Amino acid sequence: MSNHHQLLIIGGGTAGIMVASQIKKANPSFDIGLIEPATTHYYQPAWTLVGANTYDFDKTARSMSSVMPKGVNWIREFADKFDPENNSMTTKNGNKYTYDYLVVCPGLRMAPELVKGLTEAMDKGVVCSNYTNPNHTWEVLKNFKGGTALFTMPTTPIKCGGAPQKIMYLADEHFKRTGVRDKTNILFAIPGGVIFAVKPIAKTLMTVIDKKDINIRFFHKLVEIDAKKQIAWYEIDKDLDAGGCVIMSDDDTKTLDKDIQYNYKAAKTTKKGDRYGIHFDMLHLAPPQASPEFIANSPLATPEGWLSVDDKTMQHKKFSNVFGLGDVAQLPTAKTGAAIRKQVPVVVANIFKMTESNALANKTYDGYSSCPLVTGYGKMVLAEFDYSKEFKPDPKLKQFPLMVSDSSKEHWRLWILKKYLLPYLYWNKMLKGVNV
């Protein structure tokens, strides 16, 4: 193969650094430019643990220059406009870059503006989020004196769908330690009708919910946060796709439709038209998340604004020399680092094959993703699944020391995996181009 293939990568997160590392490792002469304005690279999976005071935030951050593979040209600018017909793109500074191959993986963006009042409330007072400021989450948990602890999530796709509930399980244990749990009702308000889409995992999680005495409220679509009055406003939407609403009378404590909740706990509520407000004494939420605007407004996007790629080959559906992966890609699976771990080798194999014969390799992505579901201090379940949403443990992970025979059940060894082994693998293997 000729040595001067120009590859341009958009994004220096997990996906961008891994693609650059694996390509450089296999063919050091590949000419790679990587566009990434941030100077810090974060290991975000540990932020759940930071929010519960069992991991140091500073240890989740490293300088971008320290993770950038040697020989990669780091372009410290914001990507702006794509011109895929002419194999070029322009940055916000107006600099134009051309490429033979383009890999798009800028991740997603937090979009608190999609819920009224959230932008103002975010990470202030008793409103917290591990997605944006896990240190503030810990302040909120530490200062909580009892009442209604509300945990919630948006209707948009989010990074790691399990994260909004992991912190809830840790909070429950922390409240027990500090003696406020018996003065507390924990509520988990979610937009869907199940706690987790993978059945064996959902079964385990429901036993955790029972054990911890948590109230789940299903079909709750978060529409507004009133930080001053400490009310989270919802529309109760039994079928979020079809928009059919569940009707409630004003005295909802008696009539809140029993099939939209589990393990009812009283909480002060207010009704306003078809909106239903839950009063909280603390609120942890995953903010709504969206595709970066420069992707959503580009010729590379689907009508929903995400990157349009084939869900098996990761090749763009319209432009054959463009590939996309990670959180920005519109794929019917969970947006996690574990998914990226399986997507990267497919993208890399396809790029190499394209340089040789303008065809794709026979390597495909099956939708594998995993969600390490922390269920308490020292306990974890590992949800692994693919496009089928069936529970499918990765045989590669099975070979790890400490792995358990059934990772759909809570185990302390899985906690060790989450807290110690995965961060080690991330910094020392994954980002260095080792295929783990």
For residue 381, the surrounding DSSP H or E stretch is strand 379-385
- Which of 105, 128, 160, 245 does the annotation list as catalytic? 160
Distance CA 148, CA 27 (A): 56
What is the SS3 assignment for 277-341? Answer: EEECCEEEECCCEECCHHHHCCCCECCCCCECECCCCCEECCCCCEEECHHHECCCCCECHHHHH
CA 6 from chain centre, in angstroms, equals 30
The helix/strand/coil state of 434 is coil
Q: Residue 67: which region, alpha, beta or left (left: phi > 0; alpha: psi -120 to 50)?
A: alpha
Beta bridge partners of 309: 316
Reply yes or no on whether 128 is catalytic.
Answer: no
**Contact (Cβ atoms closer than 8 angstroms) between residue 267 and residue 151:** no
CA 428 from chain centre, in angstroms, equals 22
- Which of 105, 128, 245, 371 does the annotation list as catalytic? 371
Beta bridge partners of 98: 88
Reply yes or no on whether 371 is catalytic.
Answer: yes
Q: Which residues are catalytic?
A: 160, 371
